[in-house]
Amino acid sequence: MRVKKAIIPAAGLGTRFLPATKAMPKEMLPIVDKPTIQYIVEEAVESGIEDIIIVTGKGKRAIEDHFDNSFELEQNLLSKGKIELFNEVQKSSNLVDIHYIRQKEPKGLGHAIWCARKFIGDEPFAVLLGDDIVRAEKPCLKQMIEQYERYNASILGVQTVKDEDVSRYGIVDATEIGSRFYTVNSLVEKPKQEEAPSNLAILGRYILSPKIFDILGKQEPGAGNEIQLTDAIAALNEIEAVYAYDFEGVRYDVGEKMGFIQTTIEFALQHPELKTELLEYLSKIMEKELIK
Ligand code: UTP
């Protein structure tokens, strides 16, 4: 069966960006001039996804407004002849069919996914987390969908992370069976560095079998007292094969401050209007710091 639907969970509290995220969703923080969630939606669309459901929560209205038409703004831009901006504004509302569901309490990523079960029904689906933006020649999710079409089984998007970073991710113990392709033996959520089975971290992209919903529905809270998606995938792996795919491309972690700043600088350096001025500015700062 083809992967046509995707879930983007966006109901987390975004505590790592407080106070910025007190009244504004972390998914709306911009990288240069585009909210992080738009990069994710664009990747899904470029990968062939036809329907997206965003799981939202309290204080997330701005996400719905962003992907909706904005009649007054569009008329205003048109009347002033700002055609390029008009096109950009329209683009965000014409990307794809987006549906919304609310997670009433932030009970964890696994619970957020479970909230979308009726929308997905009995078909394989993708999950994209907004904390990870991937820049790749072929969109990350598209690479994974191609693998899904070969193996017809759940696939986790992974990449190798540094030893000191394993405790921030779901980590897989896996056996390589093909180029960049692994069978998953076991998974553990945020292990201590010394207990991690490998450095292969799940980085915000999944293709999952709908069987995961039955598991999530019965699952007890795990780490952080939250319903963990990694725990449910471990249980799924007991009843059907789960694979991991080491996707190609550069992954940017926009879910924490340092990663967010690095991503902003890198994306700005690729922006034709900003590159030269930013480089001059950065080299001036560097000079000043080196003189100190
Ligand atoms: P994170 O662990 O990054 O949580 O969740 P967060 O709340 O967004 O950020 P911090 O850690 O407090 O700064 C990973 C993904 O799961 C979603 C988040 O929106 C994010 O996309 N999530 C998490 C939910 O949708 N619901 C939850 O209950 C928890």
Distance from the alpha carbon of residue 13 to the mean position of ligand 1, in angstroms = 6
69 pLDDT band, cuts 50/70/90, is confident
Of residues 84 and 11, more confidently modeled: 11
Distance from the alpha carbon of residue 85 to the mean position of ligand 1, in angstroms = 31
Instruction: Indicate which residue's Cα is closest to atom 5 of ligand 1.
Output: 12
Distance from the alpha carbon of residue 292 to the mean position of ligand 1, in angstroms = 40
Specify the CATH number of the domain 5-255: 3.90.550.10
> How big is the chain, counted in residues?
292
Q: Is 103 in the pocket of ligand 1 (CB under 6 A)?
A: yes
45 pLDDT band, cuts 50/70/90, is very high
Among 4-8, 30-34, 158-162, 283-287, name the one with the lowest average pLDDT. Answer: 283-287
CA-106 nearest atom, ligand 1: 28
Report the C-alpha gap between 3 and 129 in whole angstroms. Answer: 17
- Please tell me the predicted confidence (pLDDT) of residue 263: 97
Pairing type for strands 51-56 and 97-102 reads parallel
**pLDDT tens figures, 209-257:** 999 999 999 998 888 889 999 999 999 999 999 999 999 999 999 999 9
**pLDDT tens figures, 56-67:** 998 889 999 998
CA-16 nearest atom, ligand 1: 13
Terminal C-alpha separation, the chain: 61
Domain residue spans of the chain = 5-255, 257-292
**pLDDT tens figures, 74-131:** 888 888 888 888 888 888 777 788 999 999 999 999 999 999 999 999 999 999 999 9
Q: Write down the residue that tokens 């550069």 correspond to.
A: 250
Q: Is 227 in the pocket of ligand 1 (CB under 6 A)?
A: no
Report the C-alpha gap between 45 and 287 in whole angstroms. Answer: 43
Task: List, as one string, the DSSP characters of 103-151.
Answer: -SS---HHHHHHHTHHHH-SS-EEEE-TTEEEE-SS-HHHHHHHHHHHH
Report the C-alpha gap between 106 and 56 in whole angstroms. Answer: 10
Q: Is 143 in the pocket of ligand 1 (CB under 6 A)?
A: no
Q: Let me know: does 189 contact 232? Beta carbons within 8 Å.
A: no
Q: Is 228 in the pocket of ligand 1 (CB under 6 A)?
A: no
